[in-house]
A and B are shown apart, each in its own frame.
Chain A
Amino acid sequence: MQRPPETSAPQRRGLTAIDGALAMIAILLMVQMWLLTATLEGFLAGHRDGVLPAAMISGVLLLATFGLYRFVRRVDRETRGR
């Protein structure tokens, strides 16, 4: 049976960075899910004070996850380009 080619040290470092970024994205996504749930529950209960801040924070979290996604792509491209 053919074994997959061994990954080089830069590739391993790239994989570690990508894994870290993915973990960060997952954590941010969980926070965003909680935020949406809490906002919806508050809205349905008639609490509208926190709706605007929640939307703004959610937008910031989206920007952060998008930034991490771009980081993943950049590291991936650099690692492949070696």
Chain B
Amino acid sequence: MNEPRSAKKESLWREEVSIFAAEERYVNRRQFAKFLVLTSAGMFIGNLWILLRSWLGGRVSCPALAVARVGEIPVGGSRLFTYPGPNDPCILIRTSEDEFAAYSQKCTHLSCAVTYAPREARFECPCHQGYFSAADGRVLQGPPQRPLPRILLRRQGERLIAVGVDLQAARG
């Protein structure tokens, strides 16, 4: 059986949903604190994920790998390949009749793929307008702080062979 309504005139919703502001504030603060702690846990998991990626991808071997034939690339042209691993995109360019160069295609700012602009003799990152010299991979402009890692090439007859990655250049 229902309780009789109080003699004091109250709106129906206040009787049925009785809220005490002070208690509600306590609950809200506690829930907010819990949310913040969960967010903090998410940040920590993000850092752990980076740590795991760093450990798992830390050891890189650089085997000799044929990446192109000389005749396949015209002067001013480029060709994409992966080296040393399948997830390491690189770009091979031909700057003159007898000169080739190869660099990692990942921008040293935030790993966007750079593209070759032969007219300006530079690599361009479309994400944040970072520019690298095609001659040696150094930063010309933009947010990147380090040059593009250079892929060491060896020419065997008509074949171009990648033999290593110049990490010193990447460290600047």
Contacts and interface: CB of A to CB of B under 8 A. Distances in A.
Interface in B42-59: 43-44, 46-48, 50-51, 53-54, 58
B108 interface: yes
B121 to A, nearest CB: 24
Interface size, A (range): 35 or more
User: Which of B10, B29, B144 counts the most A-chain CB atoms under 10 A from its CB?
Assistant: B29
Nearest to A41: B110
Contacts, number: 116
Given A51-B51, A55-B51, A5 B30 contact: no
Interface string B13-36: 010000011110110011011101
Nearest to A26: B36
B40 interface: yes
B41 interface: yes
A28 B40 contact: yes
Interface in B122-170: 144-146, 149, 170
Given A43-B50, A58-B43, 4 more contacts: A19-B29, A43-B53, A44-B111, A62-B41
Interface of B: 10, 14, 20-23, 25-26, 29-30, 32-34, 36-37, 39-41, 43-44, 46-48, 50-51, 53-54, 58, 108-111, 144-146, 149, 170-171
Interface of A: 2, 4-5, 7, 11, 15, 18-19, 21-22, 25-26, 28-29, 32-33, 35-36, 39-41, 43-46, 48, 51-52, 54-55, 58-59, 61-62, 65-66, 68-69, 72-73, 76, 79-80
